Amino acid sequence: MKNGFSIKKISGRRVWDSRGRPTVETEVLLNNGGFGRSIAPAGASTGSGEAVDLRDNNQACGGYGVNNAVANVNGEISETLLGLNAFDQKHIDQCLINLDGTENRGRIGGNAMIATSMAVAHAAADGDKKPLWNYLRDKETHLSKKIVLPLPEIQIFGGGAHAEGHLDLQDFMVMPYGASTFSEAMEWTAEIYLAAGSIMDAQGKRFGVADEGGYWPVFKSNEEAIETLVKSIELAGFSTEKQVGISLDIAATQLFSNEGYFLKSEKRLLNNDQWFDLMLNWLKAYPIVAIEDPFVEDDFTRHAKLLAVINTGVESGKNNSIELVGDDLLVTNIKNIAVAKEVNACNTLLCKPNQAGTLTEARLAFEGAKENGWNTIVSARSGETEDVTIVHLSLGWGIEQLKVGSFSRSERMAKWNEMIRLEDRLGSDAVYAGGKPLGRNETS
């Protein structure tokens, strides 16, 4: 254990996220001069088992105030962590967990906890005179010398809880796996984003920007949105067979009631079997390489049934590498990952640190997914800021996919641009994670 890393000061303050809502920022100062700052993100579409934000629930700020959470950072959290060694992240985070004492982190607040947990990591890295990714990577033992830059997953159209229900599905995304570098993947995405806008203009469709930066169009159906996304990729000059795939975040829990799945934009109610067939038909018909939360969060059985079909090949020409991603299904929780593994309900974890409450718990979830042989995508939230911690987590922990929203809005671009800087600095020491289709055979 390194000396000189004891925590000298912790302070919290209220700042503002990309939706104009208050959130928690924590700063940590070490005795050796190491300094760290981090900001808690917040979700709009949330799983029932994730760590909860502590909100003031009064008339101020629409009930989203964080004065109590900030007071907890400056009070109980500071009193508990002062003098502890920031190099021991696991111990720091366990102290936060013990201090809260609840299953959902509702007493002192998941927002207060994750902001503090991440700030401690930043302070320790600064005290060790390393960028955060390098500090985290040096503590890993399973990583090869070659650093892998993640494959980005980028929203083009937004819907669901992110765009007031004009589209039922939450995210219509692209994954530029065929690019040769991360920077090239960004350039391809820029062309696709522009192409999508031009199609909307040509069709005279009204659109704005959803809260993660994607277009917010008015389509007659969700399938029309998928078809338009395919057209956007092709109009930009890319192949959906060999260069760019589609990823869908269904966020099915938001659509489910006891009567079935209701597509508001289409005024359609589907029972469980009809909904399953719809998901399968989309996988057959479109170049989908990843599908997230296709069923309500507690329906492990149908998740497992769909994965079984994926594993045997949904059709001739598609292989078993389509990612079935668990977000609300797993909520970055090692216990849920164990249940999903037992019934084979998914093959990819969406890792959101604030869902867990601390970095240690998020890393534990990632390790559990890795032991299962799953992929992992580290992900931002809909309510974001300039904080770029998750970019460093992806490199530091060796997570080879990154999802931060769309290709507009500064809170999103801050993260994409940070990865571009890291790619530039690393040069030949790093390699891009793309290079092959995720959901298509090489010969298709």
Locate the domains of the chain by residue range: 7-129, 147-432
**Distances in whole angstroms, Cα of residue 164 to Cα of each of 158, 159, 161, 288:** 10, 7, 6, 24
Average pLDDT, the chain: 92
Rounded to an integer, the average pLDDT of 21-45 is: 94
Given pLDDT bands bounded at 50, 70 and 90, which one contains residue 320? Answer: low
**Catalytic-residue membership of 212:** yes
Angle, vertex CA 132, rays to CA 27 and CA 418, nearest 5? 100
pLDDT of residue 85: 97
CATH superfamily of this structure's domain 7-129: Enolase-like, N-terminal domain (3.30.390.10)
Which of 50, 297, 323, 352 is flagged as catalytic? 352
| 350 has a pLDDT exceeding 90 | yes
Render 301-338 in DSSP notation, one character per residue: HHHHHHHHHHHH-SSTT--TT-EEEESTTTTT-HHHHH
Which of 212, 384, 411, 418 is flagged as catalytic? 212
Q: Tokens representing 332? A: 């970055």
Rounded to an integer, the average pLDDT of 47-59 is: 89
pLDDT digits (tens, 9 = 90+) for 221-234: 999 999 999 999 99
Q: Tokens representing 24? A: 């928690």
Given pLDDT bands bounded at 50, 70 and 90, which one contains residue 22? Answer: very high
Q: Tokens representing 375? A: 């992929």
Is residue 175 within 8 Å of 245, Cβ to Cβ? Answer: yes
DSSP character at residue 53: P
pLDDT digits (tens, 9 = 90+) for 252-303: 999 999 889 999 888 999 999 999 999 999 999 999 999 999 999 999 999 9
DSSP character at residue 15: E
**Catalytic-residue membership of 227:** no
pLDDT of residue 314: 64
Which one is the CATH code of 147-432: 3.20.20.120, 1.20.1370.20, 1.10.760.10, 3.20.20.140? 3.20.20.120
- Those residues whose C-beta lies under 8 Å from the C-beta of residue 441, and which sit 6 or more positions away, are 317, 318, 319
In this prediction the pTM is 0.94
CB atoms within 10 A of CB 281: 12
Is residue 122 within 8 Å of 80, Cβ to Cβ? Answer: no
| 308 has a pLDDT exceeding 60 | yes
In which element (H, E) is residue 112 found?
Answer: helix 110-127
Comparing CA positions, the residue from 402, 374, 384, 353 lying closest to residue 173 is: 402
Rounded to an integer, the average pLDDT of 384-408 is: 96
pLDDT digits (tens, 9 = 90+) for 149-196: 999 999 999 887 655 556 899 999 999 999 999 999 999 999 999 999
